Structure 1
Amino acid sequence: MKNINIHYKLYVLALLTFSPLSVAQDWNGTVLGFEAPPKPVLGDMLGIRHILNDNGFTYNLAYLNEIGWNGGGGYNHDRHVAYIDQFSLTFNQDLERWTGIPDARIEGNIVNRNHNDNLTTKRLQDPRVNFNDLSQESWGGQSITRLGWLTFARSFDDRRLTWRVGMMNKVQTFDQIIPCDFQLLSQCGGKSANALTWNNWNVHTWGTTLEYKVTPTVSLKGGVMEQNPNAASRSHAWSWSTKGSKGILLPVEIEARPLINGLPGAYNLGVVFTNASQTDLFRGKSGQAGATDPDGYKKHNHTWFMYAGMNQQLTQHQDDPNRGLSTSFSMSLANQSTNYIHQVYAASLRYRGLFDARPEDWIGFGLTWTEMSNQYARNQRYLNRINGVSDYSNPAYHPVPGHSVSGEFYYRLRPVSWLELQPGIQYWHHPGGVSRTQDAWVTELKTIVTF
């Protein structure tokens, strides 16, 4: 499930979200989770940062680590502290001042990821089924340095139309309305990555996208992107090649960022279509079950995926627009003949600045319901039947997944401007969708340092 890596952080979303092409001038997304980048630990770097900014080069360099400890339950009860971390560099070079091309820029992202330690697959979940959530959302399956994106962008029609082209990532254009503040994968950002046909954050493919602002608050987005199952492989980390491509992705999204009762909100609805070949999760080419069909599993020459979400500020704390309560909801619906994650629904509440003494602290609570594909479950049952296995404890048994529920509560504080500490707790009901797996508790700690 390497294609469901949702690793974009709050500070990068802030850079994307607060561009002049993204929002109306009186729209303030701070309480929605889109904070402006904090003052970095290195400051002005003896004037170097100021010189770079004067020449149109802006960047964000940050360090992130995520720790998870299985406090109880799960598939494997042995205690384990899982640790992952990464360095990320996101940069933007303004070209307008040098070329005169309106809003022209080069955009880039490089991520160095280390300590490939995944608590979900090591302790929480039965390893005989595909995972559908992660206790450490930034786990990407590898310790590696790779290019997330390198693109050229410019605007037309008085900055209402934005065009982007190059080695890109979907988070540059699509599904930007919910931040990635929770440590649970299912609560991190929107649900577009559940399509399992494209990647998030630190994996690039070729493509081009257009975003048009129909009104100051409503945007239409579309694109043509490479569908390459090999994109997340080590050999593709810095590759310009399209080797391994299976087809194209055609994403379309409508996004709205209105003010409701004077409070900002963000809403979206997207559809992704691909003509890349997909393998059926149960049916064979000759009409019988795929596991016994001499011609193998049926192939589909296309598939679809839908996602939607909302993120709305509910209250404002006294007269401070940067403090208050917000709520978010996101969902995805997939073709369950080709995608083992059929439906996902996630809801959350966030409060920024609950305490007067800590106006920049956050409290967050989220719940996620995940429904696995009945075709995937059907295939698992069929494999057990033809293998004559019915004992769950038998290593040859194929667990039959249904639904799972995961939840998280966190508190994030900023003791100094450049440091964020976020302890929290997670609860896992039916990890991986397997009812035979004991419910689990996880203690977490996320740390972010901005340089």
Structure 2
Amino acid sequence: MKIKSMLCASALLIFSPLSIAQEWNGKALGFESPPDPILGEMSGLRKMLNDNGFAYNLGYLNEIGWNGGGGYNHDSHVAYIDQFALTFNQDLSRWTHIPDARIEANIVNRNHNDDLTTRRVQDPRVNFNDLTQESWGGQSITRLGWLTFARSFDERRMTWRIGMMNKVQTFDQIIPCDFQMLSQCGGKSANSLTWNNWNVHTWGTTLEYRLTPTVTLKGGVMEQNPDASSRHHAWSGSTRGSKGVLLPMEIEARPVINGLPGAYNLGVIFTNAPQTDLYRGKSGGAGASDPSGYDHHNRTWFLYAGLNQQLTQHQHDASRGLSTSFSMSLADQRTNYMHSVYAASLRYRGLFDARPEDWIGVGLTWTDMSSQYARNQRYINMNRGVSDYNDAAYHPVPGHSFNGEFYYRFRPFSWLELQPGLQYWHRPAGITHTQDAWVTELKTVVTF
């Protein structure tokens, strides 16, 4: 019933008279053009590359988190991670005369692998459902994020992409990744746990078709490979480790409502790759004590949706104002330990006239863990005769968690962003025994 209501609401929004195509300016939603870089034109080199169809963006990011109070481990720790990312497109249409033909690539170098979440904030005996530093993950390593060929058809209404790809190139693109907390960074499609964000590639092909000036239908066939995030796969084009395919489908709308832009999406992912049951064994009982191990499911699904809507305009400047976003995911809790996640936020671009490019944001996230995952934890404790939470052999039983974040982003120069913030974690990882935690943060972005 909940899904049916969501579909009806989406249809009303998409085909409403309010959604008639107007000029869509998404700056106040977080869709900003790359800023002027610190290296400038590099004595004409950048212009020469652009004139030959080579466009690139080179950026540096670091994220710092400090456990100011509470959490699982109260010992003070400052966690630091950073990354360099090179993203580029090479235009091929000028030589091939194929409409919008291009090569797209992304290379990411991550360092330090220092995660405050599992080191201090939450009980490490249970799976994490959020991160204090969203860019943590994938180890200290340099990876190929994607290498794809793309072109358009039907007077640019259709875009086709093929190669070693990442989901962010096509899917779930309506919410920016501005917050440092993972659950507030972008949409919720990554919660499927069947594909990766940003710097991990798998083989696939996708199609995008613009049904109307505001509505786009997206679909694809992508490799489902649990080994894709391993070190040996960082630059590999091998399909070793593949378990099946992913079939994602999404509808995205970018209307202008009452003169203000918005972005909305609804997506579903189906996979035939075997997924391990979180509780049930192959013989029908508990998998933890089944001699044949845990059961597997060859058909699982995942649903995600979101919205990002500008609410106000600052005086007469369309690029400034208040916006709100909401995103959610609903998973098959037989195989996914995060059953449902709901995140909402408010952002304001250019609140102060003296700082028109600064941002302020506040966000809240509710996560409900899988009942099957909790059932398995309880069974393991019962089977081992363990009931004391402080016993190292005890398996904590998760429920729900509630996290929040506030940030202010300064842009003293076009190429530099400094973003201090504060996070609050209620029941980290869904464990009632873990004290609520406060985390102070600092995110820095430099564009070269």
TM-score (norm 1): 0.94
Shift of 1:141: 4.0
Aligned match of 1:208 in 205, 210, 219?
205
Give the structure 2 partner of residue 389 of structure 1.
386
What residue in structure 2 maps to residue 404 of structure 1?
Answer: 401
Paired residues of 2:21 and 2:256 also in contact (CA < 8 A): no
Correspondent of 1:73 among 70, 73, 81 = 70
Distance in structure 2 (CA, Å) of the matches to 1:446 and 1:289: 44
Counterpart CA distance in 2 for 1:295 and 1:203 is: 32
- Counterpart Cα distance in 2 of 1:388 and 1:366: 41
1:272 aligns with 2:269: yes
Following superposition, the deviation at residue 102 of structure 1 comes to 0.4
CA distances 1:408-447 after superposition (whole Å, capped 9, x unpaired): 0000010111000000000000001101000000000000
Which position in structure 2 is the counterpart of 1:282?
279
Q: In the alignment, what sits opposite 2:252?
A: 255
Deviation at 1:295, TM superposition (A): 1.4
Q: Equivalent residue for 1:433?
A: 430
Q: How does 1:315-334 map to 2 (within 5 A)?
A: 315-334=312-331
Q: CA deviation at 1:242?
A: 0.2
Instruction: Give, in whole Å, the separation in 2 of the partners of 1:155 and 1:26.
Output: 22
Offset of 1:297 from its aligned partner?
A: 0.8
Q: CA separation of 1:233/1:25 partners in 2, compared to 1, >3 Å: closer, same or farther?
A: farther
- What secondary structure does 1:338 align onto? coil
Question: SS of the residue aligned with 1:281?
Answer: strand
**In structure 1, distance between residues paired with 2:132 and 2:413:** 26
Distance 1:240 1:408, change over 3 A: same
**What SS does the corresponding residue of 2:378 show, helix, strand or coil?**
helix
For residue 100 of structure 2, the aligned residue among 103, 107, 116 is: 103
Match of 1:150?
Answer: 147
**For structure 1, which runs of at least 5 residues remain unmatched after alignment?**
1-22
Query: Aligned match of 1:291 in 278, 282, 288?
Result: 288
Q: Partner of 2:186 in structure 1? A: 189
Question: Is residue 2:220 matched to residue 1:223?
Answer: yes
The residue that corresponds to 1:18 in the other structure is none
Task: Report the residue type matching 1:314 in the other structure.
Answer: L
Given the alignment of the two structures, is residue 59 of structure 1 paired with residue 56 of structure 2, yes or no? yes
AA in 2 matched with 1:128:
R
Partner of 2:367: 370
Q: Which runs of 4+ in 1 moved over 4 A?
A: none
Alpha-carbon RMSD = 0.9
Counterpart-to-counterpart distance in 1, 2:23 and 2:54: 26
Shift of 1:342: 0.2
Kept after mapping to 1: 8 A contact 2:250/2:267 = yes
Is 1:447 the equivalent of 2:444? yes
Which secondary structure state, in structure 2, belongs to the residue aligned with residue 230 of structure 1?
A: helix
Matched AA of 2:273: A
Shift of 1:292: 1.1
The answer for the alignment partner of 2:31 in structure 1 is: 34
The residue identity in structure 1 corresponding to 2:169 is Q
AA partner of residue 371 (structure 1): D
Could you list the per-position Cα deviations for residues 116-143 of structure 1 after superposition, in whole angstroms to 9, with x for gaps in the alignment?
A: 1000000000000000000000001400
Shift of 1:24: 6.5
Which of these residues, 420, 423, 434, is aligned with residue 417 of structure 2? 420
Q: Which amino acid aligns with 2:222?
A: M
- Alpha-carbon distance between aligned partners in 1 of 2:159 and 2:408, rounded to the nearest angstrom: 37
SS at match of 1:378: helix
| Equivalent in 343, 357, 369 of residue 346 of structure 1 | 343
- Measured in 2, the distance between the counterparts of 1:54 and 1:98 equals 13
Q: What secondary structure sits across from 1:382 in the alignment?
A: helix
Unpaired runs of 5+ residues, structure 2, are 1-19
Tell me the distance in 2 between the aligned counterparts of 1:238 and 1:404: 36
Partner AA of 1:329 in structure 2: F
Between the two proteins, the alignment pairs up a number of residues equal to 429
| Aligned partners of 2:202 and 2:224 also within 8 Å | yes
One-letter code aligned to 2:405: E
1:350-371: per-residue Cα shift (whole Å, max 9, x none)?
Answer: 0000000000000000000000
Deviation, 1:25, is 7.1
Identity %: 82
Per the TM alignment, residue 302 of structure 1 is displaced from its structure 2 partner at its CA by 1.6
1:81, distance to aligned residue in structure 2 (A): 0.2
Instruction: Provide the secondary structure at the position in 2 that maps to 1:31.
Output: helix
Q: Note the alpha carbon deviations across 1:150-184, whole angstroms, 9 max, x for none.
A: 00000000000000000000000000000000000
Aligned match of 1:355: 352
SS of aligned partner of 1:231: helix
Separation of aligned partners in 2, 1:116 and 1:280 = 29
Q: Which residue is equivalent to 1:11? A: none
Deviation at 1:34, TM superposition (A): 1.1
CA distance in 1: counterparts of 2:305 and 2:279, whole angstroms: 27
